Amino acid sequence: MKFNVKALETISRDFFNIFGTSKLLGRQFFSDLGTQKAEGFFDTLIKRCGYEDNETGFFENLFSLIKKTPGRIALNGIEIPKLYLYELLLYLLPGHRSYSVKTVDELEKITFVQKEDRPCLQKVMDEFPVRLSDHVIRQSRVSDAVSKQYLPFVGELDPSGKSITFDGHLKKGVLEQMYQNRVIFLLDMTCPVYCRFCFRKHKSNRKEKTPTKEDILAAADHVRNHPAIREILITGGEPLLNKANLETAINALMTIDHVNVIRIATRSIAYFPELFLKDEKALIRYLVDKNVQCRSHGKRIEIGVHFVHPDEVSIQSLEIISLLVQKGIQVYVQTPFLNGLNTEGETLGRLFTLLRQTGVKIYYIFTPCSPIHGTKEYWTPISKALEAQAYLRKNVSDRCIPKLCTATSLGKIEWHTSGFAVEKDKDDETFTWIRTPYTLSYFKDFIPDISNMPDMRINTEGTLDSRFQVIMGKDDLILGNRPERTGVSHPAESGLTSMEIKPIRDFLISVSHLSPSLCPVPSKSVSRVHKTRVEVSLSVDKKAFDYIEQDLDITDVVLHWKEQDDPGMETTDQIVMQLKAFSNISSVRISCWEFCGKPELITEALAEKISGWNDFSIGNPFRVELETWFLLPEDIQKQHEEIAKELIQKGVNIYANVPLITRVNDQPGIIVELSDKFRHAAIEFHHLYVSGLEIQEKFNGHLIDSQQIIDIASEVRKSCSGRQIPLYIRWTPSGEMDFGLSDLLEF
């Protein structure tokens, strides 16, 4: 590898001057170096690696390691950050192409090929095509986690699994429908890069005919004629490769009254960022412009991204996400759970933290990956996913916690809320019967002929079980059927009157004190509510500030704001600016319980001030969010919606928590309506607290039955978009716990 030392030295100094922060490169790297200063950082690095005043030796040794099998690159015990290596390789191996690789010889010229695999690789490549980008090739030279996703491997010849998953109960040209309220538009089946775990990896899928304009308009007409459809997921392949089809779809859908959100799914931000950055970021400008047009019709665009491992994250991908978010387009991530790649909680925690700092909303972990031919090496037991989820709950911000989801052939479920394992299949133990919330009548509403539905059966409660190829990992995760209901929940007509609800709502709105601290703290103005999170009051003092700054595990601060104590947010401004200077703090959330009853509190001037606290830089991101609390659907007014959408345009997310109160909002239909209202208003439904909060201790006549939570979660999953589903939380003396993950349903 020939290189210009002076050029590489300049790249290195520039990189660390801009991106040399612990938020981006990780605390361990700075701990190993023994410095936090960006100035002189590169000199410190080469000195600690044993190459003081010897830049040539540093780069020679570094590149000799890169030539070997991808993995951890370390000099003198110092692990070199992947983000830095990617920038060096971008200079040494320039290019932004995407291309097919037909033979093993071609593959060997551009990346690693294991000698023992070589004799069989051509057969793999003939069966499952290979497409790569220069971006992926550079990353795969130093990251085993990247190479395992995109480079062919002999294990793909294992015939286990299926040739295709069940991919739609209703198919009409480009349109696929699995649910009553949302559909998929498949605009283009080509991709710049092929993932080896893709559920459409067979050649028959890769070679599907590109739809015409007429095909797309016919699908839009179907949506127009079915008012239950509120969301569209535009996907492929890579839908952003076909600008004409994308334009046709968006223009047609934005004029349909009942469509609320147009989602666009793309993997290119991870594996082909050039698609967004070429031509002076033309695609980003296009998406921003289309979102403005959609807003004029009362719609919005969201972008669904797909990352598996933190090694996929690049400076380029973070830049794209940051630009989209600060221009008013919400970005969310979903992640398949893949053996050998991201099944450890620590790996997922690092990935979700990196993305969340840039403004990404954490959405799904899909577990297991689709059981398609050639993917068996990625298959992982559900028990492993539950362990990873428990790690995340304990060790990362609550804003970094995904829903743990399985896409059964009937539809998605979240584990131990809307679905669970009933029993192993008696004929083939590689299959398990999974309880879902769906019913036959649900599908009859949009499927003319249900005779071709995948393997299913009606269970004792009247919903459908789906037969799915999955390994549970632990026998105690096989829960059986739900028991016969004895304590039937309160019928709607026995709910409280408006006058009876008023003191409960008043209590919710008036709460201003901090949550109980889980451990001793130095000041009454701060409360430690999680390893990563503290709450502070407007009277936060020096002891509290010192405590927050010195504990590097703390990344999130929730600031309780009351308008009467700080009407112009001058005090809040001082607090936020001081927290912003701390290297460990990546997020401040302004918690305004009053917002439920008084949306006018957030004036245009205050919205401008709040958004001004954001820092969208890649090296030192700082996110500001608005936290709200609601009780009932009627609490959400038009003004809430206007403020939420205005904040989003300024790059500020607004999310809501809801306490479940007996005879007030503990009915499935009420939570569904609340979820719908939140979604329409662009307010994220974050946590549904099922027990343990002060308001629940005060007003709940009894603990809400765990079976009632299953009913609520089931109805929300069945009736709502996945983007509307909250996390179901119990507040305990030990902090927040996921309902279901912590107690595995008290059957």
pTM to 2 decimal places: 0.96
449-453, 463-467, 539-543, 676-680: least confidently modelled range: 449-453
8-22, 345-359, 479-493, 584-598: least confidently modelled range: 479-493
What pLDDT digit, counting tens, does each position of 75-86 carry? 999 999 999 999
* pLDDT of 702: 67
pLDDT class for 453, splitting at 50, 70, 90?
confident
* pLDDT of 1: 64
b (16+ CB within 10 A) / e for 207-244: eeebbeeebbebbbebbbebeebbbbbbbbbbbbbbee
Is it the case that residue 246 has pLDDT exceeding 80?
yes
Q: What is the mean pLDDT of residues 197-211?
A: 79
Give me the long-range contacts of 112-120 (CB less than 8 A, separation at least 24). Answer: 112/69, 112/70, 112/140, 112/141, 112/147, 112/151, 117/153, 117/154, 120/154, 120/157
* pLDDT of 549: 98
* pLDDT of 388: 97
What pLDDT digit, counting tens, does each position of 264-302 carry? 999 999 999 999 999 999 999 999 999 999 999 999 999
Is it the case that residue 307 has pLDDT exceeding 80?
yes
Residue boundaries of the structural domains of the chain: 5-92, 498-704
On the CB side of 646, CA atoms within 13 Å amount to 16
What pLDDT digit, counting tens, does each position of 723-735 carry? 999 999 999 999 9
On the CB side of 622, CA atoms within 13 Å amount to 20
Q: What is the CATH number of domain 498-704?
A: 3.20.20.70
Specify the higher pLDDT residue, 157 or 167.
157
Residues 6+ apart with CB under 8 A from 414: 403, 404, 405, 713, 717, 725
SS3 at position 406 = strand
Q: What is the mean pLDDT of residues 398-408?
A: 97
Is it the case that residue 746 has pLDDT exceeding 60?
no
Is it the case that residue 512 has pLDDT exceeding 80?
no
φ, ψ at 553 (rounded to 5°): -70, -25
On the CB side of 489, CA atoms within 13 Å amount to 21
* pLDDT of 115: 85
* pLDDT of 727: 97
* pLDDT of 199: 85
pLDDT class for 40, splitting at 50, 70, 90?
confident
pLDDT class for 409, splitting at 50, 70, 90?
very high
What amino acid occupies position 649? Answer: Q
Helix 638-649, helix 604-612: angle, nearest 10:
30
* pLDDT of 742: 63
Is it the case that residue 489 has pLDDT exceeding 60?
no
Mean pLDDT over all residues of the chain?
Answer: 93
Q: What is the mean pLDDT of residues 438-442?
A: 95
27-41, 110-124, 245-259, 393-407: least confidently modelled range: 27-41
What pLDDT digit, counting tens, does each position of 517-538 carry? 999 999 999 999 999 999 999 9
Q: How far apart are CA 233 and CA 623, in angstroms?
A: 27
Check if the beta carbon of residue 163 is closer than 8 Å to that of residue 373. Answer: yes
* pLDDT of 61: 95
| Percent of the chain at pLDDT exceeding 70 | 96
Specify the higher pLDDT residue, 134 or 201.
134
* pLDDT of 486: 55
Tokens of 447: 């499927």
149-163, 311-325, 631-645: least confidently modelled range: 149-163
Cα angle 191, 196, 197; round to 5: 105
Helices (H) and strands (E) in the chain, counts: 27, 27
290-294, 313-317, 355-359, 442-446: least confidently modelled range: 442-446
What pLDDT digit, counting tens, does each position of 98-151 carry? 999 999 999 999 888 888 889 999 999 999 999 999 999 999 999 999 999 999
Is it the case that residue 493 has pLDDT exceeding 80?
no
**Exposed, middle or buried by CB within 10 Å (0-12, 13-18, 19+), for 418?**
buried
DSSP-derived letter for residue 162 is B
Tokens of 75: 């000099």
pLDDT class for 737, splitting at 50, 70, 90?
very high
Is it the case that residue 342 has pLDDT exceeding 60?
yes
Determine how β-strand 98-101 pairs with β-strand 78-79.
Answer: unpaired
* pLDDT of 485: 62
Q: Would you say how long the chain is, in residues?
A: 747
